[in-house]
Structure 1
Amino acid sequence: MKRTVVLIITCLTFFTSSASYAWGHKGHSLVAEIAFHYLDATTKKNVLAYLNGMSIEDAANWMDSMRSDKQYDFMKPYHYVNIDRNTTVKELEGDNIINTLTKSLNDLDNMKGLSNEEIRMKLLYIFHLVGDLHQPLHVGYKDDKGGNTVQVSFLGRGTNLHALWDTDIIEYKGLDLNDELKMNTYSAADLAAIKKIDVIAWTKDSRSFLKNAYSLDNAKVSDYYIDSNYTIIQQQILKAGLRLASILEHYFKDVNVVANTQVKEIPPSSEVTDVVALSTDIDVTKAADYEGKLVRICSKVYSTKVLDSNGMTFLNVGGKYPSAPLTVVIYADKLKNFDFVPSTYYKGKTICITGTIKLYKGKPEIIINTPHAIEIK
């Protein structure tokens, strides 16, 4: 498959906005989960091998998780493109979501010339940007920065149009994977058309819903607005998942996965060729020093705890609670992804956990959603 890397568009302007987190964590996770639901076992295995222990949910959200780190500022324009009203999407130039996604696909056309770390970075871009592209306001208008300057009232509080579509409606409605899968009533012919890999066509499709996004009455978000646009949001997330599956199947179904060098941390770089593996695992006692970073840490699970109230599970790594230098957190709604009881299975074992370090009340933790993020040593 050949694609054009250098593109041009009439009257194109780009804006950086820290508020632009398309679909939020939940929406991006759903895109990845939908894709994996429809993938064959071989493609799943190959993709997970290149992700090297990272969960698909973390892969889908990695680009957003790096936004707080100024070393990754070069990625900010990759999330979106803002285009003049009444302008036809044709070809583009510069750093933007269409070029970054297109270049990532072009690079995978020559996968044999890429290192495992380069392939992994391309996957992280693709997992996230396919989701971003399907949020209409991430390919929105330049004069209001993709809806970021449009103030609206939602459930009695102020927000902006972009955030409303990113997270507010999704969280309010409680969208989940089962809801999304029920939306897939497409015929075989429609599915084939939807899954055809065409970034420009996907952009045009997404922009076709901007008129719905702006159909507000005096900046107030009515029940009718929520219900009618929630259906569009569901459809867009479903299409993003189906199209991500199409990309992954196209590139990874028949690929021969070379044994990966274990990637410990992805360092900041504007060039994928600069991504290299660290020579050693991150010391568990130094976990707090890597806040916001994707790391791999190996140590023993000394104790575990399950909350009686909701089943949330905690694995205390590197020491017993409350002195453990790292806590692995599994939310109750993610336990269904495990074929075993994590608190029992991992207790006393030495594991290698891959994920993004977050601080909770000053203490480091890694949140995981599937067993793929943990390797038993």
Structure 2
Amino acid sequence: MKIFKSVQLFSRHFIIACAVLVFSAQAAYGWGLVGHHTSAQIALDILTNQKSPALKQIKEILKRDDFVLASTWADEIRGSTAVDWKKTIWYHFEKMNDNDKYLSYLKDQTQEIKARGGVLTAILASEMVLRDKKASSSDKNYALKFIIHFIGDIHQPLHSGRADDNGGNKIDVKWQGFDLSLHQIWDSQIIAFGHKNLFLQGVRSEQVKSYANFLIEKFKDRVLPNENKLKYDDWLNESLAPRLDAYKYKDEEASLYTARFLDVVDQRVFLSGVRIAYTMNRIFPGYNGIAAPTAAAQVVSDNFLNQVVSITGDLSQLIDLKPSPLKGP
């Protein structure tokens, strides 16, 4: 009996250790595969249940690309050996300090940093391409995959900054015996440890659907923000809110830290999915049901874009969503 229990205990710790290694490897950028895929799956489920006309246009733009898998394309291309996407590295995050407000923060940046771009201006630029009737099919394909991913990124609290430690990437944390960064903890480890039972069985796509279904059920009775009253910078400001505590309690044991922040992470992944769906319905109009984007909401969005452009200059000239040829040796 003792031997059997020892084997069970070893197996449990071995599975957890493997999960830490696998999920931390996935979490080099963004939410990691599971977080991004889950947000996209939630968005797809919402659009499907709505019978949204946006789905037809999304399918035409993506062609053979899968909507859920497309949510991590923006990370995968950064290692491309065929073309150069390195400039897009700046489009995944901001470097805001704890009390910053986005527009004020943007005004304070040098023109070089403004031109380099960040996650919010990359979202705006992606939307501009998708609305441009003259944009090529390949440009729209890139822009759609970018915006799905960047909406996920803007909901990850440590993708809002801080500037001095690259969003927690320079903050070392001991996590279940492994040396990880605080950024990795938020990208994937809270999800993996907090919902380990969801990830013990099935292939990746099944695990993603399980997590998506769990979140949809968890938040079905929660009062959600009215998206028609929000702008992209409101989403970013939401991500700033838990960041102080994320640093404050970073040395807590993994189970305590996970218990403290699991609901926050779940909510951010869920809201990301809700907002991907909302954004698709706003960019590709036609859906008129519950939580449909309003004309007034589009005016608010356009006004915000104009505010940003008045600070940065023409985003279509600054944010480059196309690949560049690789430079020779």
**Deviating runs (4+, > 6 A) in structure 1?**
none
Residue aligning to 2:130: 108
1:119-158 correspondence runs (5 A): 119-158=140-179
1:221, distance to aligned residue in structure 2 (A):
3.2
Residue aligning to 2:9: none
Q: Distance in 2 between matches of 1:271 and 1:52?
A: 22
1:36, distance to aligned residue in structure 2 (A):
0.9
1:70-219 correspondence runs (5 A): 71-91=84-104, 92=106, 93-94=114-115, 95-109=117-131, 111-172=132-193, 173-174=195-196, 176-185=211-220, 190-191=223-224, 193-194=226-227, 196=229, 198-216=231-249, 219=251
Residue aligning to 2:31: 23
1:121, distance to aligned residue in structure 2 (A):
1.4
Q: Partner of 1:225: helix, strand, or coil?
A: helix
Q: Partner of 1:214: helix, strand, or coil?
A: helix
**Given the alignment of the two structures, is residue 64 of structure 1 paired with residue 86 of structure 2, yes or no?**
no
Q: Distance in 2 between matches of 1:231 and 1:273?
A: 37
Q: Distance in 1 between matches of 2:128 and 2:135?
A: 12
Residue aligning to 2:59: 48
**Given the alignment of the two structures, is residue 232 of structure 1 paired with residue 264 of structure 2, yes or no?**
yes
Change (3 A) 1:20 1:81: farther
Whether the aligned pair in 2 keeps the contact of 1:23 and 1:132 (CA below 8 Å) is yes
1:242-261 correspondence runs (5 A): 242-254=274-286
1:122, distance to aligned residue in structure 2 (A):
1.2
Q: Distance in 2 between matches of 1:194 and 1:205?
A: 13
What amino acid maps onto 1:181 in structure 2?
A: I
Whether the aligned pair in 1 keeps the contact of 2:169 and 2:182 (CA below 8 Å) is yes
Whether the aligned pair in 2 keeps the contact of 1:197 and 1:243 (CA below 8 Å) is no
Residue aligning to 1:330: none
Q: Distance in 2 between matches of 1:76 and 1:221?
A: 32
Q: Distance in 2 between matches of 1:134 and 1:272?
A: 21
What amino acid maps onto 1:76 in structure 2?
A: I
1:185, distance to aligned residue in structure 2 (A):
3.2
1:21, distance to aligned residue in structure 2 (A):
0.9
Whether the aligned pair in 2 keeps the contact of 1:79 and 1:138 (CA below 8 Å) is yes
Q: Distance in 1 between matches of 2:161 and 2:322?
A: 31
Q: Provide, for residues 242-297 of structure 1, a one-character-per-residue CA deviation record: whole Å limited to 9, x for no partner.
A: 01000111122449xxxxxxxxxxxxxx744679xxxxxxxxxxxxxxxxxxxxxx
Gaps in structure 1 of 5+ consecutive residues:
1-17, 256-269, 276-377
Residue aligning to 2:45: 37
The structure whose residues are more often helix, as a share, is: 2
Whether the aligned pair in 1 keeps the contact of 2:98 and 2:244 (CA below 8 Å) is no
RMSD: 2.4
Whether the aligned pair in 2 keeps the contact of 1:139 and 1:207 (CA below 8 Å) is yes
What is the TM-score when the length of structure 1 is the normalising length?
0.59
Q: Partner of 2:85: helix, strand, or coil?
A: helix
Q: Distance in 2 between matches of 1:192 and 1:186?
A: 13
Residue aligning to 1:296: none
What is the TM-score when the length of structure 2 is the normalising length?
0.67
Change (3 A) 1:20 1:79: farther
Q: Partner of 1:152: helix, strand, or coil?
A: strand
Q: Distance in 2 between matches of 1:67 and 1:248?
A: 25
